[in-house]
Amino acid sequence: MIYIYLIAVFASLPIFAYLLSQRTKNKGYIFGLSIIIFLFCIFSFIGKFSFLGSIKNQQLNNEFLVLISEDKNITNEVLIRLEEQINQEMILLWLTSYIKEAISLKKFNTAEDLISFSESYFITPEEKFLFYSLYTQLRDAKFPNYANSDLIIEFERPLECILSNGAAQLFIMNGPNIPIAKVNFSSFEPLVMTNRDSSIPGFDITSAYLNQETIDMSILLECANITNNYSLNTSILFDNNLPSNTYKIKVNEWLKNAQ
- Are both 174 and 131 inside the same structural domain? no
Q: Could you tell me which residues come within 8 angstroms of residue 28 by beta carbon, excluding any fewer than 6 positions away?
A: none
CB-neighbour burial class of residue 136 (10 A; exposed 0-12, middle 13-18, buried 19+): buried
159 lies in which domain range? Answer: 150-257
- Are both 248 and 154 inside the same structural domain? yes
**20: enclosing H helix or E strand:** helix 2-20
Q: pLDDT for 158-214, tens place per residue?
A: 888 899 999 999 999 999 999 999 999 999 999 999 999 999 999 999 999 999 999
- Are both 128 and 201 inside the same structural domain? no
pLDDT of residue 3: 43
Look at residues 97, 119, 142 and tell me which one is the last residue of a structural domain.
142
- Are both 32 and 66 inside the same structural domain? no
Q: How many domains does the chain have?
A: 3
- Are both 157 and 223 inside the same structural domain? yes
Look at residues 120, 142, 164 and tell me which one is the last residue of a structural domain.
142
Q: Is residue 215 predicted with pLDDT exceeding 70?
A: yes
* Of 149, 152, 131, the residue nearest 140 (C-alpha): 149
**CATH number for position 170:** 2.60.40
Confidence of residue 57 (pLDDT cuts 50, 70, 90): confident
